[in-house]
Amino acid sequence: MKKYLITLFAILFSVNTFASTVRLSDTTEPVVNVGNIYSVYNTLGGDGTSSSAPLKLYIPLSGSGTTQSDNHILKTALFKSNSTQTLNTTIDIVNTDSVNVLYPTLYVKDDSSTNYLFVGRSTIGCSTSSTCEDVISSFSIATICNSTEIDCAGALSAPVTVSSYLYLSQAGVDTSISDPTSGSDGLFVELNISGRVYESTVTTALTSIEKGDQRLKLNYTVSAIQNDYRDIAIFDVSSFNSKFGQAGINEILSIDDDVTPQSSGLFEAKNLSNGRTYNISFAVRDFYGFYTPLASPLSGTPLEIAEFLEKNQCYFISAGFMEQHYVLNYFRYIRDHYLLKVKLGQSFVDFYYETAPQYVPFIIERPWLQALIRGFAYCVYFIFNFGLVALMISVMVIFLTSKVFKNSITE
């Protein structure tokens, strides 16, 4: 009896108490790429262990022609559905199995049931009873597209979305698994795959360029806004073509994830070289790395601070705005058409130009002072342009109010 109890005790403790797990190595900035040549845009609401907040991946795809490659940042390096390039995700593994080496394995949701179907197994595994950090799980694009649940052919015209699950399996076990959504042992991954381009559906335009110090401000329009637009990219082009892959791109001047594309708006290209003429074009980039058609270019040359101020001459106001602006133009108009027409105004202008330039460096180095000057300039502009109208309206309101008040007293 004693021998039997000892054997039973050993069997119980040989069984794993905890399940093996897969986790992202970095939940702040998950490391996901294709073939180490393209960083896959991704979003993550939590840590990827819940089916309601999966790791969302946006994977581009090319067809057999040049439709996709002409409009993607990878150009001719963009991978096709039969590509051996691998989708790589950096993960941490805890293998509690004391018998089997476990390998990262990808499963996709079966449309006709709650099961998840086997797609492929990564070649790098985690040894028995081990914790393995920074493991690269790799699945070829061809393997992913060979799944019956993933329509890569249809993705060339419209994005497809597939629910998948990244977990572990031992070598040779290529079977499907039951619904894992009630657990949190693996990673839930939403695969978004697209080869959609915008050649015939979206147009872009630059309406004007405003010069500033080491920067150019662009006024733009976009004919159609899509849900998967990511950001705006600004280019210096040597030869124009509306297709990114066919245009002569000297330099990508700016790409900013913090700027959400709108149907019309402003965007600044910063940290430019003063005195250099840029031939500016722009396009909107989507989550998959595809660009809308490029806008016809406009030329602009950022100005040195001294040159900008000397050209605009209204030193205080120019230092406040540091760019061409309608308020700045208004003050120059007041100077030329009113102040310079009378002797007292001429004396004021002479005194202003003798003293104002020496304070400009002090203003430029203090953004709060620039903001104060802009606020003052806007107030003066409003008063001079709309003050009389506001006064007349106020007088009329007072008159009507007093009349109503008198009538009420008489009654």
Give domain status of residue 6, yes or no: no
**Terminus-to-terminus CA distance in the chain, angstroms?**
113
Residue-wise pLDDT tens digits, 121-135? 999 999 999 999 999
Task: Output the pLDDT for position 5.
Answer: 43
Task: Output the pLDDT for position 17.
Answer: 47
Question: Among 249, 283, 300, where does a domain finish?
Answer: 300
Q: Kindly list the strands in the beta sheet with 264-269, ordered across the sheet, starting from the edge strand earlier in the chain.
A: 204-212, 215-222, 264-269
Task: Output the pLDDT for position 217.
Answer: 86
**Sequence-separated (6 or more) residues with CB below 8 Å from residue 258:** 231
Range of the structural domain that residue 105 is part of: 18-194
Inter-axis angle of helices 326-337 and 367-410, nearest 10: 80
**Region 207-230: what's the mean pLDDT?**
90
Residue-wise pLDDT tens digits, 377-411? 788 888 877 766 666 777 676 766 665 555 555 55
**Region 99-110: what's the mean pLDDT?**
97
Among 69-73, 190-194, 319-323, 329-333, the least confident range: 319-323
Domain co-membership, 92 together with 177: yes
Of all helices (H) and strands (E), which one includes residue 386?
helix 367-410
Q: Which of 56, 28, 27 is nearest to 41 (CA)?
A: 56
Residue-wise pLDDT tens digits, 237-263? 999 999 999 999 999 888 766 678 999
Residue-wise pLDDT tens digits, 48-68? 999 999 999 999 999 999 999
Supply the pTM of this predicted model. 0.74
Token pair 């949701």: residue: 109
Neighbours of 59 (CB within 10 A): 25
Q: Evaluate whether 51 touches 28 at the Cβ level (below 8 Å).
A: no
**Region 97-114: what's the mean pLDDT?**
96
Among 97-101, 189-193, 210-214, 319-323, the least confident range: 319-323
Neighbours of 119 (CB within 10 A): 25
CA dihedral for 257, 365, 277, 271, sign (positive or negative): negative
CA 280 distance to own-chain centroid: 20
CA 247 distance to own-chain centroid: 22
The length of the chain, given as a count of residues: 411
Residue-wise pLDDT tens digits, 340-377? 788 887 887 778 767 766 666 676 667 787 788 788 87
**Bridge partners, residue 55, by sequence:** 44, 189
* pLDDT above 90 for 332: no
Q: Which of 126, 82, 134 is nearest to 101 (CA)?
A: 126
Question: Among 140, 174, 194, where does a domain finish?
Answer: 194
Neighbours of 332 (CB within 10 A): 15
Token pair 């009113």: residue: 338
- Report in angstroms the alpha-carbon separations of 314 from 212, 339, 356: 15, 13, 9
Task: Output the pLDDT for position 311.
Answer: 55
Domain co-membership, 236 together with 342: no
Residue-wise pLDDT tens digits, 131-175? 999 999 999 999 999 999 999 999 999 999 999 999 999 999 999
Q: CA 378 to CA 390: how far, in whole Å?
A: 16
Give domain status of residue 323, yes or no: yes
Domain tally for the chain? Answer: 3
Task: Output the pLDDT for position 373.
Answer: 77
Domain co-membership, 322 together with 373: yes
Please report the beta strands in 223-308, taking only residues with DSSP state E, as ranges in sequence order.
229-239, 248-256, 264-269, 278-286, 298-300
Domain co-membership, 147 together with 63: yes
* Residue 317's pLDDT band (cuts 50, 70, 90): low
Domain co-membership, 73 together with 214: no
Question: Among 245, 280, 300, where does a domain finish?
Answer: 300
Residue-wise pLDDT tens digits, 181-198? 999 999 999 999 999 999
Domain co-membership, 28 together with 171: yes
Supply the mean pLDDT for the chain: 86
* Residue 7's pLDDT band (cuts 50, 70, 90): very low
CATH of residue 264: 2.60.40.10
Domain co-membership, 108 together with 22: yes
What tokens does 402 get? 């007093």
Burial (0-12, 13-18, 19+ Cβ within 10 Å), 3: exposed
Give domain status of residue 3, yes or no: no
**Region 301-315: what's the mean pLDDT?**
64
Domain co-membership, 96 together with 183: yes
Q: CA 152 to CA 87: how far, in whole Å?
A: 15
**376 vs 276: which has the higher pLDDT:** 276
**Region 8-24: what's the mean pLDDT?**
63
Domain co-membership, 35 together with 74: yes
Task: Output the pLDDT for position 314.
Answer: 63
Q: Evaluate whether 68 touches 62 at the Cβ level (below 8 Å).
A: yes
Task: Output the pLDDT for position 10.
Answer: 41
Task: Output the pLDDT for position 126.
Answer: 98
Neighbours of 395 (CB within 10 A): 10
Domain co-membership, 38 together with 140: yes
* pLDDT above 50 for 8: no
Task: Output the pLDDT for position 306.
Answer: 57
Give domain status of residue 128, yes or no: yes
What b-and-e string marks burial along 133-149, b requiring 16 or more CB atoms within 10 Å of the CB?
Answer: eebbbbbbbbbbbebeb
What b-and-e string marks burial along 216-252, b requiring 16 or more CB atoms within 10 Å of the CB?
Answer: bbbebebeeebeebbbbbbbbbeeeebbbbebebeee
**Region 266-278: what's the mean pLDDT?**
89
Give domain status of residue 385, yes or no: yes
Give domain status of residue 139, yes or no: yes
Domain co-membership, 182 together with 215: no
Give domain status of residue 315, yes or no: yes
Please report the beta strands in 110-196, taking only residues with DSSP state E, as ranges in sequence order.
116-121, 130-140, 160-169, 187-194
* pLDDT above 60 for 31: yes
Q: CA 150 to CA 155: how far, in whole Å?
A: 9
Task: Output the pLDDT for position 356.
Answer: 64
* Residue 289's pLDDT band (cuts 50, 70, 90): very high
Domain co-membership, 185 together with 230: no
What tokens does 163 get? 């629910």
Give domain status of residue 5, yes or no: no
* pLDDT above 60 for 291: yes
